[in-house]
Amino acid sequence: MDFDDLRESLRRKARNQQQDKVKELWKSIDSQKDLTTREKLERLLALSRKKEPEKKDQIKTEISEATSSRNRQPYLVLENNFNLNSRYGQIPISLGLDVPGKVLAVLSRDEAFETLSLSQALFIDLETTGLAGGTGTIPFLIGLGYFENDAFKVVQYFLNDLAAESRMLEELRSLLEEKKFSSIVSYNGKGFDLPLLETRFALNRIRFPLAELPHLDFLFSARYLWKHKYESCRLYNLALEHLGADRSEDIPSEEIPWRYFQYLRTQDFSLIEPILYHNQEDIMSLYGVVVAGAALIAKSLEGEEMEADGLDLFGVGKIWERAGEVEKSVVFYEKALDKKLPGEVSVRVKKNLAYYFKKMGEWEKALELWQDLLEHSEDLDCFRELAMYYEHKVKNPEEALKYALDGLALAQGVSHSYEQDFQKRVDRLTRKMNLLKSVKRTEKGGSE
């Protein structure tokens, strides 16, 4: 019987014992005929609560004895394999092996990924004693994910004894050098995980094997793809809402440092088990969202017809714009408009497209978007653009003055800069109008 089976057996035994005690208590209370049913239940609850601390202490002692051999180890290395035929949420595990290097290069904005694949990538996530960073923060759990032997493997290095950090990092270094990973994939790893891990390696005078590898920090791509679709782009939230993963047994990240410190004090391994689960889920969630995002970009790269909603198409457009592929981003912004978009996002897309068409000299398309925006909103920038269009492009100061006056009226008390801008336009256009009228009168008088 392994540790998990033993622990579950002990818990079942404790539950059965407690149920038997409750039954005995109820028999003795139920025999007291002078009590009402409600009074009997209240007495049963009161007596059960008195017994509970003793029961908890007993279970804690039994589990502690069962895990004592594990707790005595300075650090633990735990492994779990996910078959390629299985899924994480809606994502097939094998799908990551099909992601082209070009897609990874677009997501990372690093050309080094063009010749790489996820088959040799290292997914990494740390659990630490705090979020402040610096030399006082220790990564007590280092989670790794990578492909090996027809499976996606999650390996976790757990620091059982703070004094053993150097030994654990040395073993980790050996693994990293043995596997010869070609790249790193993380979620906020550039800002937190990798600098912290490199600091711990340096403090323990151990060479850091990951320093020069290309790094895809998917946090940034996730925000471009899904910031306007979901309330939060936290990895946990994306796993639930975008991947359909089940993380119902997870614990809040804020609990993790406290649980580890409590474990060091009590050696109660039940405090750590939820952290191990949380870290493994973060690795799998990272893998899942990277593959989901890569699948969207791969379809857009191949010119396939995408079965995606407007917000996904908008996110793909933002990724291409971020990559400097403006023309490609315009295609997806236009496709997003054909679908239903929330009002605020729709306004932003139309303004971006109008600016692009203006820059490219496609005035009819720009004009159509500006006028459409004014029908559904009172956007000051659109009034300004239309005033500029009719004054400078069409040479129609009368029409330009209408938009400038409307813009000035809306800007008063709302935007000082726009108010000043529109006032200058109104003054200039008024002078132009007066000049034109004067010229027309002169021409009319001369002809008479």
- Give the pLDDT score at 315: 95
342-447 adopts what CATH topology?
1.25.40
Q: Note the pLDDT tens digit of each residue in 78-132.
A: 999 999 999 999 999 999 999 999 999 999 999 999 999 999 999 999 999 986 6
- Give the pLDDT score at 340: 81
One fold for 75-301 and 342-447:
no
Which pTM does this prediction carry?
0.77
Query: What is the token pair recorded at 408?
Result: 């000035």
CA atoms of 215 and 196, how far apart (whole Å): 15
- Give the pLDDT score at 302: 76
Distance of alpha carbon 251 from the chain centroid: 17
- Give the pLDDT score at 57: 44
Q: Note the pLDDT tens digit of each residue in 176-189.
A: 999 999 999 999 99
Q: Which of 165, 113, 116, 121 is nearest to 139 (CA)?
A: 165
- Give the pLDDT score at 96: 96
- Give the pLDDT score at 286: 98
Q: Are 253 and 188 in contact (CB under 8 A)?
A: no
Low-confidence ranges of the chain (pLDDT < 70): 1-71, 131-135, 303-304, 443-448
Q: Are 210 and 122 in contact (CB under 8 A)?
A: yes
CATH superfamily name and code, 75-301? Ribonuclease H-like superfamily/Ribonuclease H (3.30.420.10)
DSSP 97: G
Per-residue burial over 60-94, b = 16 or more CB atoms within 10 Å of its CB, e = otherwise: eebbeeebeeeeeeebbeeeeebebeebbbebebb
Instruction: For CA atoms 441, 442, 444, 448, give the dihedral sign.
Output: positive
Query: φ, ψ for residue 341 (rounded to 5)?
Result: -120, 145
Q: Are 276 and 156 in contact (CB under 8 A)?
A: yes
Where along the chain do its domains lie? 3-68, 75-301, 342-447
CA atoms of 315 and 296, how far apart (whole Å): 9
CA atoms of 93 and 84, how far apart (whole Å): 5
Q: Are 213 and 181 in contact (CB under 8 A)?
A: yes
- Give the pLDDT score at 217: 98
